[in-house]
């Protein structure tokens, strides 16, 4: 406006005569021009401002798009991170579950003091301590037997130094209750990414029961091997004794018929009988003796043995019998059960030289899986016969060899060392088991388990003893025996009794005789050469001459009569070695049956 005013006043003198209307027009024109200029300047500035705003908007949009993209990427990375974290948590729970439920104990120790820094539940259950008791408070040495601590130190030092990466060893641990467990331990050093030692991880497997089972298996195999040996020796020895006893009896008969003294011969016969008793015990141990099992009541058997036991034991030994009411019947050879009781009583007597107390008790027992696993006995129902003495007791070394044949602590001059081995063999052959518990200075307790019989015991009538006729009626007997000396002495004994005797060495030779000769009785050895056993020969005879009687003789019966030595009721067996009177009575019984 100031410029407009100046312009007005400056023009007005020059115009002179100009009219007021023209001046007004000029003023208006100049004002319009000025206002237009101003508007043009404002418009230009406005356009520049809009252009700048559009640039800013573009940059803002670009930045927004970038922010949106960054946001989306961040959300994606967040989802991946959450998924990774969830996977990691799942893996941690998975591996924690594996760690806690592993079948072996796992423990991590650190430092030279072997401090526990991590343990799983299996290890806690094995050792008897809780995690709270062990972590940070106990060391490996606290649960290790004293003599094995130096061994642990050497191994862990080598793991810490990197000299070894891992190591395995068998070692013993002491549980919270004081029980010692045998374990196989695998040790491995734990290091970080930089190789720095962090600790030692131990995987521990309890093999206590396995080692017990292994020891029991080795003992069973050893007993089986010894049984095979003793059974074979006893069989051959029986054949020798049969010849010796048979010839001695013939010699005694000849001496007596000539009026000569045969006392020395009878002494030798007595020695041979003791030898036969020895082989019988060997066969009992090897479980190759023949058994005649019956359903028996052990309480009744013990009652009948009362007087015999009191005569066997000294007056300084008190006898107590505790017989359970309602005792189950069991199926066993009654003569062998009596022998078991007598042998256990004699061993108890020898363990109490200054007197004491012998307790014999019976009870029904049911063996469960847990007890069966630790005692080599099958689960089931048994009649238990326990014999307990208050004698000297036995060391663990003696207990481990207790049932070995010829093992004795009493000196071999008066004891063969076969009493308990015979007990062991008979009980095992009968499907039972024998266990022993003893402490030195406190006595011994032997338990005999015999399987329960589900059959009711049949009452037996008392048999009156009478001398049976043993003379022959001239019957024809075929003797089948591969041992020539045994065959000849048997023939001589039978001929001396008045029988007509034929001989055969093998089964095929016997069949040749049977096809052409009428025979009343065939006396055959159970084991024959040539591919045909005595049992098979008897089967062939049944087809040829069904009326011909059959009697077997053998040193043992396992290989012929079913493997367990238990004879069928219709099988007649004459156990070698036998005396002439036994042969005579058995032959008459078969012929007259």
Which residue from 187, 283, 347 is spatially nearest to 577, judged by alpha carbons? 283
- The pLDDT value recorded for residue 53 is 77
Q: Which residues sit opposite 249 in a β-bridge?
A: none
Q: How many residues does the chain have?
A: 593
Count of beta carbons in the 10 Å neighbourhood of residue 262: 19
Average pLDDT over residues 207-229: 70
The pairing of beta strand 573-575 with beta strand 549-554: parallel
pLDDT grade for 440, boundaries at 50, 70 and 90: confident
Q: How do residues 123-140 score in pLDDT, each as one tens digit?
A: 898 889 998 888 888 888
Half-sphere exposure of 455 (CA within 13 A, CB side): 10
Determine phi and psi for 246, rounding to 5 degrees.
-65, -45
Q: Is the pLDDT of residue 419 over 70?
A: no
> Do residues 253 and 530 lie in contact, with contact meaning Cβ atoms separated by under 8 Å?
no
Question: Which residues, in sequence order, are CB contacts of 161 under 8 Å at separation 6+?
Answer: none
Distance in angstroms (rounded) separating the CA atoms of residues 14 and 546: 181
Could you give the CA distance from residue 574 to residue 554 in angstroms, rounded to a whole number? 7
Where is pLDDT greater, at 223 or 526?
Answer: 526
* Residue 77 tokens, joined: 């990375």
Asked whether the beta carbons of 384 and 448 are under 8 A apart, the reply is yes
| Pick from 564, 568, 293: nearest CA to 552 | 568
- Contact predicate 332/430, CB 8 Å: yes
Given this model, what pLDDT does residue 3 score? 44
In angstroms, rounded to a whole number, what is the distance separating the alpha carbons of residues 376 and 433? 7
Note whether 362 and 323 are within 8 A (CB): yes
- What percentage of the chain reaches a pLDDT higher than 70? 75
- Closest to 364 in 3D by CA, of 298, 293, 431, 420: 298
Do the Cβ atoms of 559 and 525 come closer than 8 Å?
A: no
Structure tokens at 470: 């043993």
Measured in degrees and rounded to the nearest 5, phi and psi for residue 14 equal: -70, -35
CA proximity to 450, closest of 345, 560, 331? 331
The tens digit of pLDDT for each residue in 523-575 reads 998 888 888 888 889 988 988 888 899 999 887 644 445 444 555 656 788 87
Which residue's entry shows tokens 């309890």? Answer: 206
Structure-block tokens of residue 259 = 């009026």
Give the span between the Cα atoms of 424 and 347, in whole angstroms. 14
One DSSP character per residue, 107-156 reads EEEETTTTEEEEE-HHHHHHHS--HHHHTTT-BGGGGB-GGGHHHHHHHH
Measured from the Cβ of residue 537, the count of other Cβ atoms closer than 10 Å reads: 26
Which residues are CB-contacts of 97 (< 8 A; sequence separation ≥ 6)? Answer: none
Dihedral sign for Cα 461, 463, 464, 469, please.
positive
Q: Model's pTM, two decimal places?
A: 0.43
CB atoms within 10 A of CB 411: 8
* Per-residue pLDDT at 480: 93
Does 273 have pLDDT greater than 60? yes
CA–CA dist 507, 541 (Å, integer):
10
pLDDT of the residue at 55: 75
> What is the distance between the alpha carbons of residues 6 and 170, in angstroms, rounded to a whole number?
121
Distance CA 507, CA 539 (A): 11
- Please identify which residue in the block is written with the tokens 């930045």: 63
Determine which of 92-101, 385-394, 576-585 has the lowest per-residue pLDDT on average.
92-101
- What does the pLDDT look like over 318-332, one tens digit per residue? 989 999 999 999 988
- Give bridge partners of residue 450 from the DSSP assignment: 383
> What's the CA gap between 378 and 304, in Å, rounded?
30
pLDDT the model gives residue 476: 93
Q: What is the rounded CA–CA span in Å between residue 232 and residue 527?
A: 12
Question: Rounded mean pLDDT of 181-203?
Answer: 81
Task: Give the per-residue pLDDT at 477.
Answer: 93
CB 276 within 8 A of CB 577: yes
The answer to whether 362 touches 299, Cβ cutoff 8 Å, is: yes
């Amino acid at each position: 406006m100031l410029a407009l005013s100046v312009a007005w006043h400056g023009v007005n003198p020059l115009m002179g005569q100009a009219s007021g209307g023209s001046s007004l027009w000029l003023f208006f024109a100049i004002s319009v021009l000025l206002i237009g200029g101003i508007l043009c300047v404002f418009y230009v500035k406005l356009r520049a401002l809009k252009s700048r705003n559009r640039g800013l908007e573009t940059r803002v949009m670009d930045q927004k798009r970038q922010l949106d993209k960054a946001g989306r990427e961040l959300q994606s990375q967040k989802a991946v991170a959450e998924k990774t974290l969830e996977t990691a948590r799942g893996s941690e729970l998975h591996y924690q579950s594996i760690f806690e439920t592993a079948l072996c104990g796992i423990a991590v120790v650190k430092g030279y003091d072997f401090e526990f820094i991590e343990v799983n539940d299996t290890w806690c259950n094995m050792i008897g301590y809780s995690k709270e008791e062990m972590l940070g408070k106990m060391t490996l040495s606290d649960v290790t037997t004293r003599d094995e601590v130096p061994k642990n130190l050497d191994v862990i030092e080598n793991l810490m130094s990197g000299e070894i990466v891992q190591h395995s060893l068998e070692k013993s641990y002491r549980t919270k209750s004081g029980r010692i467990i045998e374990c196989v331990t695998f040790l491995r050093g734990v290091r970080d990414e930089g190789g720095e030692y962090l600790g030692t991880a131990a995987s521990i497997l309890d093999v206590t029961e396995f080692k017990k089972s292994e020891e029991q298996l080795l003992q069973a195999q050893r007993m089986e091997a010894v049984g095979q040996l003793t059974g074979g020796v006893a069989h051959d020895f029986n054949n020798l004794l049969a010849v010796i006893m048979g010839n001695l009896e013939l010699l005694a008969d000849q001496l007596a018929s000539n009026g000569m003294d045969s006392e020395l011969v009878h002494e030798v016969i007595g020695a041979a009988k003791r030898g036969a008793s020895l082989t019988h015990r060997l066969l009992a141990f090897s479980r190759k003796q023949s058994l005649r099992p019956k359903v028996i009541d052990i309480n009744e058997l013990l009652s009948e043995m009362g007087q015999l036991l009191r005569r066997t034991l000294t007056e300084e030994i008190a006898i107590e019998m505790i017989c359970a009411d309602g005792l189950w019947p069991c199926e066993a050879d009654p003569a062998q059960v009596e022998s078991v009781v007598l042998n256990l009583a004699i061993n108890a007597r020898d363990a109490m030289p200054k007197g004491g107390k012998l307790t014999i008790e019976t009870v029904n027992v049911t063996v469960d899986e847990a007890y069966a696993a630790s005692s080599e006995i099958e689960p089931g129902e048994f009649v238990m016969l326990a014999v307990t003495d208050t004698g000297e007791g036995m060391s663990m070394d003696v207990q481990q060899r207790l049932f070995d044949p010829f093992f004795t602590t009493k000196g071999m001059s008066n004891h063969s060392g076969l009493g308990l081995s015979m007990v062991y063999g008979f009980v095992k052959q009968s499907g039972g088991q024998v266990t022993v518990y003893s402490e030195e200075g406190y006595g011994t307790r032997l338990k005999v388990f015999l399987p329960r019989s589900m059959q009711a015991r049949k009452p037996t009538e008392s048999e009156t003893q009478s001398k049976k006729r043993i003379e022959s009626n001239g019957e024809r007997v075929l003797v089948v025996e591969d041992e020539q000396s045994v065959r000849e002495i048997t023939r001589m004994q039978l001929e001396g009794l008045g029988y007509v005797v034929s001989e055969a060495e093998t089964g095929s030779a016997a069949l040749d005789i049977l096809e052409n000769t009428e025979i009343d009785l065939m006396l055959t050895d159970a084991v024959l050469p040539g591919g045909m056993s005595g049992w098979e020969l008897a089967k062939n005879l049944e087809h040829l001459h069904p009326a011909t009687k059959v009697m077997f003789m053998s040193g043992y019966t396992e290989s012929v009569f079913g493997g367990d030595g238990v004879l069928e009721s219709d099988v007649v067996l004459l156990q070698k070695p036998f005396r002439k009177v036994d042969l005579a009575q058995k032959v008459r019984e078969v012929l007259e049956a």
